[in-house]
Amino acid sequence: MKEALVKKAYEVAKERYAEIGIDTEKVLEQLQNFHLSLHCWQADDVKGFEVQAGSLSGGIQSTGDFPGAARNIDELRSDILKAKSLIPGNHRLNLHEIYGDFKGKVVDRDEVTVEYFQSWIDWAKENNTLLDFNSSSFSHPKSGNLSLANPDESIRTFWVEHTKRCREIANAMGEAQNDPCIMNLWVHDGCKDMSVNHALYRNTLKKSLDEIFEKDQPMMKDSIEGKVFGIGLESFTVGSHDFYTAYASKYDKILTIDTGHYHPTESPADKVSAVLPFVKELMLHVSRPIRWDSDHVTIMDDPTLDLFSEIVRADALERVHYGLDFFDGSINRIGAYVIGSRSAQKCMLRALLEPKDLISKYELAGEGYKVLTMLEEQKAMPWQAVYDEFCLRNNVPVGADFMADIDQYVADVVSKRI
Ligand code: RNT
Ligand code: ZN
């Protein structure tokens, strides 16, 4: 895209927004400070690098077998860097435990130590990237239907040990990067069919969490993620949204809102202002559920726009961490990262460009039609010109121009894997 054209469009947009009291320069600064946490698992369909890796289990599924998935740590790092080079701004990387650098060794989940993440810590430093982390309870012979909620003590303590070790690792990452590493805890635990032991499982999960969080790890933060159901575990989920909301508010944990983890007509956006009076911080897993928690690539759709708008309207920008969580194996995976990340940014940009104070004034004065008018007008305001300018200033391709870069990377690198 021609630079002069982008500049011209931006100047017009700047004036249009100034008319409604929005300073686009200030918004561009805010967008620059808006950091996503890119999930490493879109690059390889959630396989990870364990030597002993089995198939993906634990209620989640990546569908599609588009050629070119990263097969090892070097390929994954290369893909992530390529994706990052096409996304404006600087973003964190969110690792799962199964993505450790195990160097050909069988390391079971209850044996993992920071040693296996040293090369990630070094890589992150070299590439000016901050890390986040996740314990991994899926895709393991002991995953079964119940991990941390398992009444079988030997299995439960195995996963408690794993999760404690993951917190140690996250803390070491936080120390190394001098910025707290957020460790997300999601376990798939649930039942496929009727069960009479819901209370037992939930009390067991509570007990496990209490043990896991016992030790203070000052350079990491814990986030906890619930969901509605997993595949093969459709009837009951131990760690439901209510369970973790209650736990997070009582024990001061970060609550994770995964946009794919609610009933199809439930609004994840509406949870923001409902839980913020009770939990200090939120972690997002921005995804796109189609029919079920299908983890399609994030796009600039209404639910995602609503989510970011609710955060900005609640003045909670600093209290939210912005993780992505999708894994579509049916399209080019670098393209998936770039589309998902840019779309999340666009949602945030549009939220930041909203003349909230003006609309709020109308609302509080009972001028309902003016509220609607302004909200409708925002949809066609020239926010795209502001995003294009943002890309230009960040030296990344503007608009769809990034497709040429991805095609080139496929020709030079990815095609050699096939
Ligand atoms: C699963 C959760 C979880 C995972 C990742 C791999 O339903 O969304 O966040 O997607 O941890
Ligand atoms: Zn998630």
Query: Relative to the alpha carbon of 96, which ligand is closest?
Result: 1
Mean pLDDT of 207-235: 98
The residue whose CA is least distant from atom 5 of ligand 1 is 325
Q: Which helix (H) or strand (E) holds 227?
A: none
Residue range 79-138, pLDDT digits in tens: 999 999 999 999 999 999 999 999 999 999 999 999 999 999 999 999 999 999 999 999
1 pLDDT more than 80: no
Instruction: Establish whether 188 is a catalytic residue.
Output: no
415 pLDDT more than 80: yes
Residue range 276-315, pLDDT digits in tens: 999 999 999 999 999 999 999 999 999 999 999 999 999 9
Burial 67-105 (b: 16+ CB within 10 A, else e): ebbbeebebbbbbbebbbebbbbebbbbbbbbbbbbeee
Centre of ligand 1 from the C-alpha of residue 298, in Å: 14
Mean pLDDT of 185-193: 98
Centre of ligand 2 from the C-alpha of residue 362, in Å: 37
> Residue 227: CB within 6 Å of ligand 1?
yes
Q: Which helix (H) or strand (E) holds 213?
A: none
Give the CA radius of gyration of the chain.
Answer: 22
Instruction: Establish whether 258 is a catalytic residue.
Output: yes
Instruction: Establish whether 225 is a catalytic residue.
Output: yes
Could you say which of 189, 293, 388, 389 is catalytic? 293
Mean pLDDT of 56-77: 97
Domain spans of the chain, in order of start: 34-354
Q: How far is CA 21 from CA 86, 152, 313, 365, 388, in A?
A: 31, 60, 16, 19, 21
> Residue 283: CB within 6 Å of ligand 1?
no
Centre of ligand 1 from the C-alpha of residue 39, in Å: 10
Mean pLDDT of 165-193: 98
Ligand 1 atom at shortest distance from the alpha carbon of 260: 8
Query: Is residue 418 very low, low, confident or very high in pLDDT (cuts 50, 70, 90)?
Result: confident
> Residue 225: CB within 6 Å of ligand 1?
yes
| Pocket perturbation via mutation, ligand 1, pick of 258, 292, 295, 297 by most ligand atoms within 8 A of CB | 258
Centre of ligand 2 from the C-alpha of residue 363, in Å: 35
Query: Relative to the alpha carbon of 60, which ligand is closest?
Result: 1
Helices (H), 213-252: 241-251
pTM of the model: 0.97
Mean pLDDT of 251-274: 97
Helices (H), 90-230: 118-126, 153-177, 198-212
Instruction: Establish whether 285 is a catalytic residue.
Output: yes
65 pLDDT more than 80: yes
Could you say which of 75, 97, 132, 258 is catalytic? 258
Instruction: Establish whether 261 is a catalytic residue.
Output: yes
Pair 254, 280: CB distance under 8 Å: yes
Mean pLDDT of 206-230: 98
> Residue 311: CB within 6 Å of ligand 1?
no
The residue whose CA is least distant from atom 10 of ligand 1 is 325
Mean pLDDT of 334-349: 98
Mean pLDDT of 210-238: 98
Centre of ligand 1 from the C-alpha of residue 325, in Å: 7
> Residue 84: CB within 6 Å of ligand 1?
no
Determine how β-strand 288-290 pairs with β-strand 292-296. Answer: antiparallel
CATH number corresponding to 34-354:
3.20.20.150
Mean model confidence pLDDT for the chain: 98
Bridge partner list, 199: none
Centre of ligand 1 from the C-alpha of residue 186, in Å: 7
